[in-house]
Amino acid sequence: MALPTHIGFIPDGNRRWAVNRGMGKQDGYAFGIEPGLQLYEQCKAYGIQEVSVYGFTQDNVKRPAEQKHAFSQACVHFAQEVMRRGCALLVVGDEDSEQFPAELRPFRQRQGSGIKVNFLVNYGWKWDLAGMRQGDIRSSDVSRLDMVVRWGGGRRLSGFLPVQSVYADIYVVDDYWPDFKPEHLDQALEWFSRQDRTLGG
């Protein structure tokens, strides 16, 4: 089966998941960490070389303070735990902002070795592309994406790495992200292996 080299993940639906269970919107994010670690282990076991994960964006920080605090904390915990388990971690996002968690500052340069994990934290597509005015996009250390998998049913990219996504096959899981199951990735990979990739040629 033809495996993708680089997969992007958009773990959407945390707030809707929480509301469906009678919790506050902000309570959903904490339930997204363990699924993220499971998915990371699964990718590593399958020999995927690079993954990019949507943490939060410069659009997201317009949300209420308790949500902002919750998703920011969830991102810090996830990053620390994948680092502990061993990976080459790069955090991609605007660090010149108080929204950027101080704990993740060292990872604006890639640290560690193993599967490449690009984690988008306080990321913005405009911020990314604006780098071209100084020569290149700000996410230039992130390679072209073969596939993007999005949870939560939305059939859009929502500003996720627009340059790297130009040829990516987009697979949508209707389940909310905290309901992640390993079968989701298996189904996405099986689907991907059946796509005809021409890159426009």
Which residues make up the interface to its own copies (CB under 8 A)?
57, 59-60, 62-63, 125, 129-130, 132-133, 135, 154-159, 162-163, 165-171, 195-196, 199-201
Smallest distance from its own copies to CB 60, Å: 6
Calculated CA dihedral for residues 31, 36, 38, 40, nearest 10 degrees? -170
Quick check: 48 and 7 in contact, CB under 8 A?
yes
- Of the pair 3, 88, the CB lying nearest its own copies is at 3
Smallest distance from its own copies to CB 106, Å: 27
Smallest distance from its own copies to CB 192, Å: 10
Smallest distance from its own copies to CB 132, Å: 4
Q: Quick one: 63 exposed, middle or buried, by C-beta within 10 A (0-12, 13-18, 19+)?
A: middle
How would DSSP label each residue in 57-103? ETTGGGS-HHHHHHHHHHHHHHHHHHHHH--EEEEES--SSTTS-GG
Determine the distance from the C-alpha atom of residue 58 to the mean position of all C-alpha atoms in its chain, rounded to a whole number: 14
| DSSP annotation of 141 | T
Helix (H, G, I), strand (E, B) or coil at 132: helix
Smallest distance from its own copies to CB 111, Å: 28
- Of the pair 22, 135, the CB lying nearest its own copies is at 135
- Of the pair 27, 128, the CB lying nearest its own copies is at 128
Spatial CA neighbour of 11 closest among 93, 71, 83: 71
- Of the pair 28, 159, the CB lying nearest its own copies is at 159
- Of the pair 109, 132, the CB lying nearest its own copies is at 132
Smallest distance from its own copies to CB 119, Å: 17
- Of the pair 76, 129, the CB lying nearest its own copies is at 129
